[in-house]
Homo-oligomer: A and B are copies of this chain.
Amino acid sequence: MTKQERAVRTRHALLRSAAAAFDQRGYAAATLSLISNGAGVSPGALHFHFENKAAIAAAVELEAADTLCMVATHVYMRQGSALQALADTSHALARAFTTDVVVRAGFQLGREAAYVSSLDLHKDWERYVHRLLARAAEQNTLQPGLSHRQMAAMVVAATVGFEVLGQGEREWVSAHSLTGFWRLILPSLATPEALCELDPTGGRLGVMSRS
């Protein structure tokens, strides 16, 4: 392994260790020695990569934002129907939240008063929801006469709620929970014709990721 490969690997281990500490203990209680110990590296190695705790937290947030962006782009590019893409993205993000501690820590950091976040993952998600609903309107799949702004606010609020509640109880971010949500809410958003074609279960994602 070259020196550069070792450095990349150490940085990655530090980010995951920091994310685990932020996720479980919060920003304030996640000490630098906890983080370096968790990554199995010396305090010196930590300081070689990151100036201080805020710099590690910013890197964790950035990696979480990158992951969310990749997940969303992946779904967005594959789906013809914007409403289907919206439901599928929420399922894919819930999976990322469940399986990736960096994603969880990214959201947790955004909610902590002790840490001034440089990003806003909720704002990114809000913009994405607005974009998909605008596209759904172009596709004539939205119920006429309803405010797109109110639709977007409802979807954003509910999905943020699932994520916050999921931090304590994972059942909230299960495929089952999200399927129940979309099953209930899609008839309020979609035209009857569009509704017949929509799958609220995130089931097509499984096919997508195997393809």
Residues of chain A having any CB pair with chain B under 8 Å = 22-29, 108, 111-115, 120, 122, 146-147, 149-151, 153-154, 156-162, 164-165, 167-168, 172, 177, 180-181, 183-185, 187-188
Contact = CB atoms under 8 A, between A and B. Distances in A.
A151 B184 contact: yes
Given A27-B28, A151-B184, A164 B111 contact: yes
B149 A180 contact: yes
Given A164-B111, A187-B188, A180 B28 contact: no
Contacts of A115: 26
Contacts of A160: 160-161, 164-165
Contact of A153 (B26, B111, B181): B181
Closest 6 CB pairs of A and B: A28-B28, A26-B113, A157-B161, A161-B161, A26-B114, A150-B180
